[in-house]
Amino acid sequence: MKRRIVIAPPAHPGIMGILLLVLVAPIFLGFVLPGALVAALDPLGIPEAAPLVLLLMALSPFLGFVNVVIRRREVRAQVLEVEYISLFGVPIPVARPRWTSFESLLAVNVGGALVPLSIAALMTVAEGFAPRAQELLAATAVTSALVIAVTYRSSKVVNGVGIVVPAFIPPLTALLASLVLTWPLGLQAYIPAISYTGSVYGTLIGADVLNLLTNGDSINAWLLSIGGAGTFDGIFMSGVLSMVLSALLV
């Protein structure tokens, strides 16, 4: 029976260590994220959800190792093999192309995709019950659309790796869009929530979903994980960065 759960260790342990230091330590020590969460959840009328959301974010680095497989496909790719031939007793390396087949897995990362999506969905539902709900939901939709467009244009498909996006483009786009959309309406208290949800939705669709729909069959990687494969993808990082930055401005 084929596995539905894949545990993928980080490709770069040093990067994972930095992320743990930057993201997890502030959570447990009570810096940065708790205040940003209160700024995002309190205007929505759900400040009591902050401890649960904080716990989910604290667990995200560890859940980032867990990937749920949703599709499998056979991939043929050309690789270079180095052979050595002897010329007057001297070994000479010769590169020869060879076609090989392997199974490519499409998965959803728990810590990098499912957790931020759950938090964004909670905020979106709360927006629907908040005063001026239509304006809030419209601002979230427009912010998400702008992040989708910018992220898709700036993303790049790298064979053997997957989809890469410049780290600060999605959160800064979400932050600027939420500022422009909410400030004239007097809804600036909702900027942390709107920038978080817009960043999460926009990065998910703009970086992962659209690229998988248009270029998925041409990406030759053994694991294509929405939300990352053991290291954090832009979905989690974009949401956290946009929320923290916007909370500092409000």
Question: Averaged in consecutive runs of 10 residues, what is the pLDDT profile of the chain (250 residues)?
Answer: 72 52 54 88 95 89 87 75 73 76 84 94 97 96 97 84 83 96 95 97 92 79 74 74 89
β-pair partners for 87: 90
In whole angstroms, give the CA distance from residue 26 to residue 33: 7
pLDDT of residue 165: 85
Sign of CA dihedral 18, 211, 201, 9: negative
User: What pLDDT is stored for residue 172 in this prediction?
Assistant: 95
How many angstroms separate the Cα of 167 from the Cα of each of 55, 95, 193, 220? 24, 36, 20, 23
pLDDT at position 29 is 47
**DSSP one-letter string for 55-81:** HHHHHHHHHTTEEEEEEEEEEEEEEEE
Q: What per-residue confidence (pLDDT) applies to 26?
A: 56
pTM of the shown model: 0.84
